[in-house]
Structure 1
Amino acid sequence: MSSQALITLAIVVVAMGLFASEKLRVDLVALLVLVALVALGIIGPEQALAGFSNEATVTVAAMFALSLGVERSGALEPLIRLLLRIRRPWLLTLALMLVIAPLGAFVKNIALVATFVPLALRVCQRTQTSPARVLMPMAFAAQMGGVCTLVGTSSNLLADTLAQQHGLPGFGVFEFTRLGALLAAVGIVYLMLVGRWLLPRHVEAAMPAEPAEIGKYVTELKIGPNSPLVGHSIADAKLGERYGVYPLELLRGERRMWSPRSQQLAAGDVLLVRGDWEKLEEFRRRAGLENVPGAGHVRGREDGEDPRLLAEAMVAPGSPLEGRRLEEAGLDWRYDAVVLAIHRRGHVLREKLSDTRLAVGDVLLLVIDRQAMPRLRADSGLIVLSEREDRVGTPRRALAALAIMFGVVLVSALHWLPIPIAAIAGAVLMAIAGCYGRKDIYEAIDWKIIVLLGAILPLGIAIEKTGLSQALVDAGMQLVGSHGLLAALFMVYLLTALLTELMGHNPSVVLMVGIAISVAHAAHADPRPFVVAVAFAAATSFATPVGYPTNTMVYYAGGYRFTDFMKVGIPLIALFCALSVWLIPVFWPFHPGG
């Protein structure tokens, strides 16, 4: 192995570690890889920038816009209204999977899950059922649907583009559908008959009566001059026994007292307290306290019109709010909203709310103007944990969005236009038809994913150019030995699945497509079955909450543990692996025409 191959291997190992650790955002890791490859002379500037003009990168950006148009136009509202009538949790789980899997073939997975999570939570609340029984199957169904078409997920597009760069013919829009539909049907049956018994039941009897009681919130309350707490210590006040709230910290001016139980309280002190929202609100009223974050905003207008309301919003995966302090989030000027409290699963916040850096899964309790609610629901960085009611959508826009999406798929399938051009044209037509606003299209595109794709693609070039791909293939073929083509296909599928759980679906595709093609050449077989194995293994990540964004989203909303995904997901991955290794050579023969 050459020195450049060893350096590239070291870069790959470091990148995998950074992807898995989540210490840095995935797009920053990809940019660091890109800079390292150029700085060390492994690739040139033109090769480094080629990923940003790649067809897959452009198509994914356009598909973000198309998905937004379908969602924002109200095209999904009839389905949502129908699902709201369901009363039985098992039937809701089945119905959601049967609806989301076909939609996932054409609509962005994250947009789908973000749309249906509030609906699922509402039905679970009404039927006193744990959301954990519903949300994981829903996220898995979105992935199963996404793999059914070439445009259903970015990893499919990426695999197709990389295969074409290696001289292979491109895949058709519906070429994956036969295998994808079979796997989706088997996956849904597994989740209904086996997976439902592996799903957690630990909060089934503890569903709140109101959406506002999503968990233990942390908020700041200021002691007024007439409060009965003035002159008493926190220990004497017995806040836990009397009110069911728990003090975390006392703020007195610029001083922060971490052990405040013995401190005598004075007017102007700020208590950082934790508890369910109803108990916090009762404590505020009875003890004569004020909400520190904009106390005057909690009440409606003096004329009684346009009252403000409480809303809960969860920070979504990929949200631009992630990592920002609350005071930098801009919720006050964007939505005239005030954050009263924050709930972070698995952690007790001990910082002032204004200094708290937001994380994916944080639930914000907001006081917001009723007129600003449609704009809050339209924010892709936040998921409103209540029934989504998109008032902008109209039947005309909904029909236009569906017709345009159908047209994009048809034109691409018939090869009248290349997929990127058809997708861009569809996004423009949706804008003209009013399916979304002028600025919405730029807000809808997850630029983190676009940068990730553009920056990580040159890594595949480096792996091929330095001979690292061939060295890894030689080592893999020695392991396979004389066990044949099915064993080689199994190795490619399993390795891709493992890398996907560690570093995400797009980086694993970049790493594995070249290796898969080299394995096929070494085994004297057609490379297309091996590329398909990479695409399917990367697009169906079930074993961890970090392998795919939809898993991350329901991980926080459903209150899952990391091991819950392993219990349900690992058998499902094994089932998909066995079926794929058996069926891929049936649909894509190792020796076509032989």
Structure 2
Amino acid sequence: MSWQAWATVAVIALAMALFASEKLRIDLVALLVLATLVILGIVTPVEALSGFSNEATVTVAAMFALSLGIERSGALEPLSRWLIRIRRPWLLTLALMLAIAPLGAFVKNIALVATFLPLALRVCQRTHTPPGRVLMPMAYAAQMGGVCTLIGTSSNLLADTLAQKHGMPAFGVFEFTRMGVILAVVGILYLMLVGRWLLPRHIDAEMPEQEDIGKYVTELEVTEQSSLVGGSIADAKLGERYGVYPLELLRGEKRMWSPRSQEIAVGDVLLVRGDWEKIEEFQRRTGLRNAPDRRYAKGDDRSRVMVELMVAPASPMESRRLDETGLNWRYDAVALAIHRRGQLLRDKLSDVSLAVGDVLLVLVDDDALSNLRNDEAFIVLSEREETHRTPRKAFYAAAIMAGVVVASGLHWLPIPIAAICGAIAMAITGCFGRKDVYEGIDWKIIILLGAILPLGIAIERSGLSQELVQMGLGVVGEHGPLAALLMVYLLTALLTELMGHNPSVVLMVGIAVSVAHAMKVDPRPFVVAVAFAAATSFATPVGYPTNTMVYYAGGYRFTDFMKVGIPLIAIFCALSMWLIPQFWPF
């Protein structure tokens, strides 16, 4: 191989390692790849910037806006109100999958899961059902729906764009639908008949009882009227009497060396952990007050609501401290407590750097609640009943989305133009605010798409694609195109779990097309295999954003996804090997 090919291999290996480690944001990794390729002279500056004007990048940005309009207008609220009436856990799981899978073909998967996640959690709480029984099938259904149309997921659009660059005709909006629907039906049947027995029944049931000591960590200040003044934490026996467990005793900016034996004084702050109801009862009975509330709140004469917020995947609030999130000045909200799954926090709330999946207990003004719900950085897990939204805007949003699908499906307009026109129409009709669209677009995904696309150019130009094809054909031997198709599908599925669905599509489409040409068959079925393998990532919680969302909210372990997801991937792979040649002959 040439030095350019070896350099491209090194860049790909570095990118895969960084994507898998999650030490750097995905958009930063993509920009690092882009800069390295230009510096090494493997791609020109014009080629390096071509990804940002690519049809797939523009279309994905516009589809973010369309999904935002559907979500903000309340178009999904009638369905939510119907689902919340369901009492049986298995029926809720089935109903959620049947509702989300069709919607996932047209609405952004992350928006769908974020919309239905609080509803599922409320029903689970009411029926005493572990959320782990419901949330994973819901996330999988969103992926199954997304692969049913060309616009359902960004990886489908990306595969179509890259295929056209190799001289192939464009895929139709509904060209994937026949196969996608079959896979979705089989997937739902598997999750209801087999997968439900593989799902965890009791989250963390094997943990020692003394470690499972509550959910939230908060700060309580000792007042002059407190019954704890003059005594010690050991004497108070907080765990035995109140079910609240002390972690630290803070005096000013100092941590006391022996908090359990130190005499408690007025103004001291107790860092405690426990269920919020028990913390509130402990606070009332001992005369304490919530330190964050006293420090930041303006008064108690306003209508205030207690909500649980989860830090969303790819949230800009990741790695920020509480005072850097803007919750106080943007929403006049007070973070009272924090919970981090699998970790016992011992820092002051103001010193905690937030991580994806952290749950904040926040006191927010009634008037600011709707704005907080629309913040893409957080997912509201529980709150009071949602405010009523204008049915007219919901109708406009649904009609505009249908218009985009029809216009692009019947080839009246190219997909990017139809999506842009739809986004403009939603803005004019007030389906979202003037600034909402910029906040609602996940710019990390847009940067990722624009910056990672030139990697495909580097793979082709350096000759690495042909080298990989020859290696692959050496493995397949004389077993024919079906064996080569299986190799492409499995390799794409593996890369997707390691580095995400969009980078794996960029890496594999060129290779898939070259494999097809080497075997003298139509490359179309090979591109379809890449698209389906990349869009159905079930084996890890990091392979797809919706998996990450439910991983934290459902209290899953990494291996839970492997137990349920790997058999599902095997089923989809076997069905794809049968269906792809039927719908797209070699």
Q: Which TM-score bucket, shorter chain as reference?
A: over 0.9
Whole-Å separation in 2 of the counterparts to 1:394 and 1:258: 57
Other-structure match for 2:264: 265
Whole-Å separation in 1 of the counterparts to 2:296 and 2:19: 41
Other-structure match for 1:223: 222
Other-structure match for 1:94: 94
Establish whether residue 506 from structure 1 lines up as the match of residue 502 from structure 2.
yes
What is the Cα deviation at residue 491 of structure 1?
Answer: 0.3
One-letter code aligned to 1:492:
V
What is the Cα deviation at residue 233 of structure 1?
Answer: 2.4
Q: Deviations over 1:274-322 (max 9, x none)?
A: 11111111222222222111327779744xxx42121111111122211
One-letter code aligned to 2:556:
Y
Whole-Å separation in 1 of the counterparts to 2:190 and 2:30: 36
In the TM superposition, 1:228-267 aligns within 5 A as 228-257=227-256, 259-267=258-266
Q: Is contact 1:222–1:268 with CA below 8 Å preserved after alignment? A: yes
Note closer, same or farther for the CA distance 1:340–1:214 as it changes in structure 2 (3 Å cut): farther
Identity of aligned residues (%): 77
Say which SS state the counterpart of residue 221 (structure 2) adopts: strand
Instruction: Work out which of the residue numbers 296, 309, 326 in structure 2 matches 1:330.
Output: 326
In the TM superposition, 1:251-400 aligns within 5 A as 251-257=250-256, 259-295=258-294, 301-302=300-301, 306-386=302-382, 391=387, 393-400=389-396
Q: Deviations over 1:51-86 (max 9, x none)?
A: 111111110010000001111111111111111111
Q: Deviations over 1:233-258 (max 9, x none)?
A: 22222222222122222222222246
Other-structure match for 2:416: 420
Say which SS state the counterpart of residue 385 (structure 1) adopts: strand
Whole-Å separation in 1 of the counterparts to 2:460 and 2:249: 59
What is the Cα deviation at residue 167 of structure 1?
Answer: 1.1
One-letter code aligned to 1:582:
W
Instruction: Work out which of the residue numbers 551, 557, 563 in structure 1 matches 2:553.
Output: 557
Q: Is contact 2:92–2:134 with CA below 8 Å preserved after alignment? A: yes
Note closer, same or farther for the CA distance 1:214–1:416 as it changes in structure 2 (3 Å cut): farther
In the TM superposition, 1:463-542 aligns within 5 A as 463-542=459-538
What is the Cα deviation at residue 132 of structure 1?
Answer: 0.8
TM-score for both structures, normalised by structure 1? 0.95
Q: Is contact 2:203–2:556 with CA below 8 Å preserved after alignment? A: no
Note closer, same or farther for the CA distance 1:389–1:482 as it changes in structure 2 (3 Å cut): farther
What is the Cα deviation at residue 464 of structure 1?
Answer: 0.8
Whole-Å separation in 1 of the counterparts to 2:360 and 2:199: 27
Q: Deviations over 1:501-536 (max 9, x none)?
A: 111101111111111111111111111100000000
Q: Is contact 1:248–1:258 with CA below 8 Å preserved after alignment? A: no
CA RMSD, aligned part only?
Answer: 1.8
Whole-Å separation in 1 of the counterparts to 2:408 and 2:235: 72
Say which SS state the counterpart of residue 221 (structure 1) adopts: strand
Other-structure match for 1:49: 49
Say which SS state the counterpart of residue 382 (structure 2) adopts: coil
Q: Deviations over 1:319-344 (max 9, x none)?
A: 22112111100001111100000011
Structure 1, unaligned runs of 5 or more = 207-212
What is the Cα deviation at residue 377 of structure 1?
Answer: 1.3
Say which SS state the counterpart of residue 265 (structure 1) adopts: coil
Q: Is contact 1:300–1:308 with CA below 8 Å preserved after alignment? A: no
Whole-Å separation in 2 of the counterparts to 1:214 and 1:127: 23
Q: Is contact 1:106–1:149 with CA below 8 Å preserved after alignment? A: yes
In the TM superposition, 1:85-164 aligns within 5 A as 85-164=85-164
Establish whether residue 571 from structure 1 lines up as the match of residue 570 from structure 2.
no
One-letter code aligned to 1:266:
A
Note closer, same or farther for the CA distance 1:388–1:267 as it changes in structure 2 (3 Å cut): closer
Say which SS state the counterpart of residue 347 (structure 1) adopts: coil
Note closer, same or farther for the CA distance 1:171–1:113 as it changes in structure 2 (3 Å cut): same
What is the Cα deviation at residue 389 of structure 1?
Answer: 5.4
One-letter code aligned to 1:541:
S
Other-structure match for 1:186: 186
Whole-Å separation in 2 of the counterparts to 1:287 and 1:498: 55
Say which SS state the counterpart of residue 86 (structure 1) adopts: coil
Q: Is contact 1:30–1:452 with CA below 8 Å preserved after alignment? A: yes
Note closer, same or farther for the CA distance 1:564–1:9 as it changes in structure 2 (3 Å cut): same
What is the Cα deviation at residue 265 of structure 1?
Answer: 2.0
What is the Cα deviation at residue 392 of structure 1?
Answer: 6.3
What is the Cα deviation at residue 123 of structure 1?
Answer: 1.0
Which deviates further from its counterpart, 289-298 or 507-516? 289-298
One-letter code aligned to 2:526:
F
One-letter code aligned to 2:501:
H
Whole-Å separation in 1 of the counterparts to 2:393 and 2:213: 34
Whole-Å separation in 2 of the counterparts to 1:388 and 1:162: 46
One-letter code aligned to 2:278:
K
One-letter code aligned to 1:310:
M
Other-structure match for 1:195: 195
What is the Cα deviation at residue 481 of structure 1?
Answer: 0.6
Other-structure match for 2:7: 7
Note closer, same or farther for the CA distance 1:254–1:390 as it changes in structure 2 (3 Å cut): closer
Say which SS state the counterpart of residue 512 (structure 2) adopts: helix
One-letter code aligned to 2:260:
R
Q: Is contact 1:100–1:138 with CA below 8 Å preserved after alignment? A: yes
In the TM superposition, 1:27-106 aligns within 5 A as 27-106=27-106
Whole-Å separation in 2 of the counterparts to 1:174 and 1:569: 26
Whole-Å separation in 2 of the counterparts to 1:183 and 1:371: 44
What is the Cα deviation at residue 378 of structure 1?
Answer: 1.4
Whole-Å separation in 2 of the counterparts to 1:335 and 1:162: 43
What is the Cα deviation at residue 228 of structure 1?
Answer: 2.4
Q: Is contact 1:73–1:394 with CA below 8 Å preserved after alignment? A: yes
What is the Cα deviation at residue 574 of structure 1?
Answer: 0.1
Whole-Å separation in 1 of the counterparts to 2:205 and 2:65: 40
Which deviates further from its counterpart, 176-185 or 241-250? 241-250
Note closer, same or farther for the CA distance 1:296–1:39 as it changes in structure 2 (3 Å cut): closer
One-letter code aligned to 1:473:
V
Structure 2, unaligned runs of 5 or more = 207-211
One-letter code aligned to 2:252:
G
Note closer, same or farther for the CA distance 1:293–1:100 as it changes in structure 2 (3 Å cut): same
Whole-Å separation in 2 of the counterparts to 1:505 and 1:388: 36
What is the Cα deviation at residue 388 of structure 1?
Answer: 7.9
What is the Cα deviation at residue 263 of structure 1?
Answer: 2.1
Other-structure match for 1:448: 444
Q: Is contact 1:128–1:204 with CA below 8 Å preserved after alignment? A: no
Q: Is contact 1:341–1:365 with CA below 8 Å preserved after alignment? A: yes
Other-structure match for 1:210: none
Say which SS state the counterpart of residue 24 (structure 1) adopts: coil
